[in-house]
Amino acid sequence: MNSTESEIHDVIIIGAGPCGLGVAARIHEDTPSAVFTDEEHQRYHWIKKHAGKMNLVQAGRTKKNGVRAEKWNRGLKCCDGEGQTPDRQRRASSDSVSSVPSLASSTSSISSSSSISTLVLDGSGDQWMQRWNNAFRTLEIKQLRSPMFFHVDPGDRDGMLAYAQEMGREGDLWEISGCVGKDVSKHKKKKRRQGGKNQTIGVEIDERDRKDYFSPSTDLFTDYCNSVIDRYGLNRPDLIKKEEVANMTYDYPSDRGDAPVSDEKIFTLTTTSGLKFYSRAVVLAIGAGGAGVSKIYPWKPSSLEEGSNGCCHSMEIKTFPSMNVREKIQRRQQTNVVVVGGGLSSAQIVDMAVRKGVTKVWFFMRSDLKIKHFDISLPWMGKYKNFEKAAFFCADTDEERLEMMKTARNGGSITPRFTRIVKQHAAHNRASIHTNTVISSHKYDPETQAWTLTTDPPIPNLPSIDYIYFATGARADVREMSLLSHMNEQYPVEVKEGLPCLTEDLMWREDVPLYMTGRMAGLRLGPGAPNLEGARIGAERIAWSLEEVLGKDKEVGEQCEGFCGLGNRYASLLGESDE
């Protein structure tokens, strides 16, 4: 591709993680679950499957009053010369007229909006979820923390549960025990004194919702994401390019001599390799490890300290354990590793270090040990979450929303399951847990490849440390992201502690179609913005706005317009002579 004569894409998505995949899938879905009921989903997908094979309505007066299924096939791609999809040709002889497409079908829900020109840029690879999958594989994480209804499929809230049942993989569902039980509405006022603190009896999620509170294995989640990718045709080889965006501008091409001809403002995205890409809209969907996100350290390690033999951030782990620790384990020497952090990743690293043969793991966290099923509090997850969300959306100021986010997330936390695992390691003297502890001084000896640490409060007889893992998270500040430097200068927006005050459509400004999803959209999506639920909800809002910005109001069967699912579900029942 010529770097100066590229086409102008409708949308460029920066980031091929869950948020980027959620947006790409949503703009290819005609019948989103946020708008359409299960009955409507079944009807529309049945119509698409049997398009051109039978009359849907026999009006009885004239042939022109019959509504034929061909008009529902306008948006389908991969058709042969006779207008039939290969999938329908393959199944035509065996399907009955009343059957419904498989939930795992790769062609059951291809949208009319597939004509939208989309490009995805990601610095970590040219495949969907590559950084995500690599991180889970490196840390040997077997189970997601999220419940079954947190996923990127825009077509069905319960799609992952249905997929697991259809594939016969119920064994890949792990029940999240302890958060489902009594109806909190009957027990929330009953309190007891325990340990000097008031504690609520019962749980936040009703027994009737138990089927929702299973978490998928990482393999099941990956396979389900692949089924979503196949279903919407997002696996074509030219869709994702391994390019890291270094800068972007938004102006008229006439102001620049190297841009394509256009009478409207467009985005120019310049990558670290020097290539340039152009689009009418941009979606910034980078995660915690994306470009422009700064990692948090207790102190900034020097080039001598950081690396294969001294320390690293959990987001930079390539091999585990480090080379010097591995060699000592092979020589059957004593090894000591420090893990700093209070979130789930830190507990997973502690467990993996013990399993890999580290003699003892020292677990430091600057606060108390916080045990939570999810990264946000249960009231934001259960049947009463609409109350919490309503309070958030009705807040008067973004400062108020920011405080609500902090309260709901409350820093890093560990699931009950991994809390038990870490405490079991501590009981066998393979781990030592130190809460409300920070490293007060540190010295690294490159010759011995060991650390001398002191802590506050002091830990008696703390040995020399072979390696340090910082599982301390990352911070995203739009004012510090290099790829947004020109946007901050040309189109400044208000920022609250690094988070931009976006429009309700998650747009940078009303006159700048730069969208943000994930954690950067927290002031609009709420505390769940950084997780998988935020990916799906953010994609829904962005799709509605893109409909207007791109002007893609294409009719589908005279019933659905564009890719937002707008229109009258009964329009197809009208004949030409009907009112």
Tens place of pLDDT for every residue, the chain, 579 residues? 444 446 899 999 999 999 999 999 999 887 787 655 555 556 655 565 555 555 544 444 444 433 333 333 333 333 343 334 334 333 333 333 333 333 444 344 444 445 789 999 999 899 999 999 998 999 899 999 988 889 999 988 889 989 999 999 999 998 887 777 654 444 443 333 334 443 333 456 666 667 778 899 999 999 999 999 999 999 998 899 999 999 999 998 765 555 666 678 999 999 999 999 999 999 999 876 555 578 889 998 988 888 778 999 998 898 899 999 999 999 999 999 999 999 999 999 999 999 999 999 999 999 999 998 888 888 887 666 778 888 898 899 999 999 999 998 888 899 999 999 999 999 999 999 999 999 999 999 988 999 999 999 999 989 999 999 999 988 888 998 889 999 999 999 999 999 999 999 999 999 999 999 999 999 999 999 999 989 999 999 999 899 888 875 444 333 344 555 555 555 556 655 555
Rg (CA), the chain: 26
Looking at domain 295-375+412-473, does it have CATH number 3.50.50.60? yes
Beta-bridge mates of residue 515: 283, 507
CB 294 within 8 A of CB 23: no
Helices 344-355 & 416-427, crossing angle to 10 degrees? 40
Q: Tokens for 355, please give them.
A: 């399993």
* pLDDT at residue 470, as a whole number: 95
Handedness of CA 535, 539, 541, 545 (dihedral sign): positive
Quote the CA–CA distance of 472 and 456 in Å, as a whole number. Answer: 18
* pLDDT at residue 21, as a whole number: 96
What φ, ψ does residue 138 adopt, rounded to 5°?
Answer: -65, -40
pTM for this predicted structure:
0.79
* pLDDT at residue 112, as a whole number: 44
* pLDDT at residue 384, as a whole number: 67
The per-residue b/e assignment along 560-572, b for 16 or more CB within 10 angstroms, e otherwise, is bbbbbbebebeeb
Enumerate the domain spans of the chain.
295-375+412-473
Quote the CA–CA distance of 134 and 146 in Å, as a whole number. Answer: 18
